[in-house]
Amino acid sequence: MESPLLPAEPMLWSGWGDPARAAELPAPVRELLTELLGVRPPAAPAATFGEVRLPPAALPQAVLAALAAVTGEEHVRADDDARIRHTRGKSTPDLLLMRAGDASDAPDAVVLPGSHEEVVEVLRLCAEHRVAVVPFGGGTSVVGGLTPARRGYAGVVALDLGRLDRLRSVDPVSMTADLEPGLRAPQAERLLAGHGLTLGHFPQSYEYATLGGFAAARSSGQASAGYGRFDDMVVGMTVATPRGTLEIGRAPKSAAGPDLRQVFLGSEGAFGVITSLRLRVHRAPAVRAYEGWRFETFAAGTAALRRLAQEGAPPTVLRLSDETETMVGLAKPTDLGTPGGDSGCLVVAGFEGAPGDVAHRREHAAALLVEAGGVHLGPEPGEKWAQGRFSAPYLRDSLLAAGATVETLETACFWADLPRLYDAVRLALHGALGSPLVMCHISHVYATGASLYFTVVTAQTGDPLAQWAAAKRAAGEAIVGAGGTISHHHGVGRDHLEAYAAEIGDLGGEILRGIKERLDPAGILNPGVLIPVY
C-alpha cells in the first residue's frame, strides 16, 4: 500500500512534534526563569497558522506542469499548508521566525517523487530550468540546512522523500538491510523488528527524522557507544545527482581508492539525493537495562567515561551531565523543569544485548565506575532518562512561549582538549549573553575523545534572533580556538558555514567546490548550504 502524501500527523509547523505532547512549565520553573534569568512573557502572542505571511509562489506554471508529468499532479503541491510545513527546520531561530508569522523562506512547491527514476528526472528538469532543490526528510535540521539561497534561481522546490519509505530487502547472512531514505526512524524500526533486527539509532530527533536525513547529516544516536554513529552503519547507497546515478558500496571495506560513500555522508543534499541505503543491522536486544551513577564533579565523571571508552566493553548508552544540568533536572527528561535535583553529576549507563553480554558489561562498568569514585544510584535515574529521552524539544517550545531563548549547540574534541573546550564555550556564552543558564553533557564517547552538548537558556531581548546570532558566533569562535569541531552531529547547514570554512581551510573549501561543480554544474542542490564561500 502506498503511503499518504504527507504524514498523518505532521510536525507542528511552529514548534516540535505533536502539539498534544506540549510540555507545561511547572510553577517552580516559571519562578526560576523570572528570578534567575529575568524572563518576561513575550510582548506579542505567537502567530496563528492563518496569520503566517507567505510570499507568492514564483515557480513558472510550465515548470510545475513538467514536474507533475514526472510524479503525477497529486504529488506536486503548491498549497499554503504544504509550503508552510516545508519552511526551514527546527532551530530556535527557525521557530522564532515561524512564531512571528514569517514564512519568507517557504519553497514555491513541494514535490514528492515515488522512485529513484523520478528523483533523477526531477533533478534534470530543475537543472534545465534553474530551480533550486532542497531535499527534505523529517524537517528536523537545527543548523539552517533547509533554507537555500534563492537569488539567481527561477524558484525553489522542497523535494520531500516521504514516498520512498520501503524496506526493500534484508540480508540475514551479511546482517544488512536495504531501506529507502524517506522512512522515519520509528517506521524503520517497526519494519526491522519484524525480522528480529534493529538499527540501534536513537537520536533526540528519532520520532520525526528520516534515514536519508541521518546519512546526509552524519547523525549520531544516543546509543552510539554501543551501536555506533549512523555513518558507521552505511555500507552502500544509491545517489541521484543532476549528472546521473551513483551506486556506491560493493563491500564492507575496500582499498579501491578513496571511499566515495564519504562524499555523500554529511553532504546535506548539496551533492546529490540519497534514494536508497544499505545499512548494517543488529539483532534486536533481548535485554535492556538502564541505571544511574553519581560523581562529585564533571571532571571526575569525564575521567571515568574516558576509561570506559578506552578499556573495552563500554555501555550501549553512556552520558554524563555536568553539575548545572544535573541540578536543573535536564539530566532526567521526565523530571524536566524540576529544579533541585541531586548535587554532583549524573551518569546514565544503558546496556542492551543478550543476557550474558549485558551482565558482563554491567559488571565491568560497575567495577570501573566504583574505582573512579562513582556512587551507584540504581535503575531509577537511568529508566527515567530512557522514558523521556525524546521529550526535551517539547520543553523548548514551552520556554519560547514563556519568553526565554533556549537553544543547543554541540562539538567534539580529543580527550586531552576537552576541559579547555568545555571552559571556553561556557565563557563565550556568558560573555555574549550576560548571565545565561548554561548546561552541558557528554553523550558520545570514543577511545580518543568525546562530544560536548550544551543547552543555553536566557531571557529574550527585543531582538532574540540577533541575540542568539551573537552568542552562536562567540561560541563558534571559542570552539575553533579550543581545537573542537564545529559540529559532532548537527551538521553545517548555513549556520556553521563560517566556522566550518575555518576548520577545513581554503584548500578544503576548494575541494568541496570542485565536487559540487562536477556533480551539480547548475548549482541547484541546496544552494548556500555546506559549501564555504570565500
Closest CA to 85 of 9, 181, 3, 154: 9
Structural contact between residues 17 and 393, judged by C-beta atoms closer than 8 angstroms: yes
Residue 53: Cβ-neighbour burial (10 angstroms; 0-12, 13-18, 19+): exposed
Residue that is written with C-alpha cell 553512556 in the block: 318
**CA pair distance 526, 302, nearest whole angstrom:** 38
Residue that is written with C-alpha cell 537555500 in the block: 148
One-letter amino acid for residue 189 of the chain: E
**CA pair distance 177, 258, nearest whole angstrom:** 24
For residue 352, what is the enclosing H or E element?
Answer: strand 345-353
C-alpha cell at 520: 551539480
Please give the backbone phi and psi of residue 502, each rounded to the nearest 5 degrees, phi first. Answer: -65, -35
Q: How far is CA 340 from CA 32, 323, 324, 327, 329, in A?
A: 11, 11, 10, 5, 7
What residues have CB less than 8 Å from 196, skipping those under 6 apart? 283, 284
Other Cβ atoms less than 10 A from the Cβ of 434: the count is: 12
**CA pair distance 308, 372, nearest whole angstrom:** 10
For residue 235, what is the enclosing H or E element?
Answer: strand 234-241
What residues have CB less than 8 Å from 468, skipping those under 6 apart? 92, 93, 405, 407
Pairing relationship of beta strands 167-171 and 234-241 according to DSSP bridges: unpaired
Closest CA to 133 of 530, 531, 533, 523: 523
**CA pair distance 269, 242, nearest whole angstrom:** 12
**CA pair distance 311, 425, nearest whole angstrom:** 29
Nearest-5° Cα angle at 371, 369 to 373 = 70
List the catalytic residues: 453
Distant-in-sequence contacts of 39-43, Cβ < 8 A, 24+ apart = 39/402, 39/403, 39/404, 39/459, 39/460, 40/403, 40/459, 41/402, 41/403, 42/401, 42/403, 42/460
- DSSP E strands: which ranges in 155-251? 156-160, 167-171, 176-179, 197-198, 234-241, 244-248
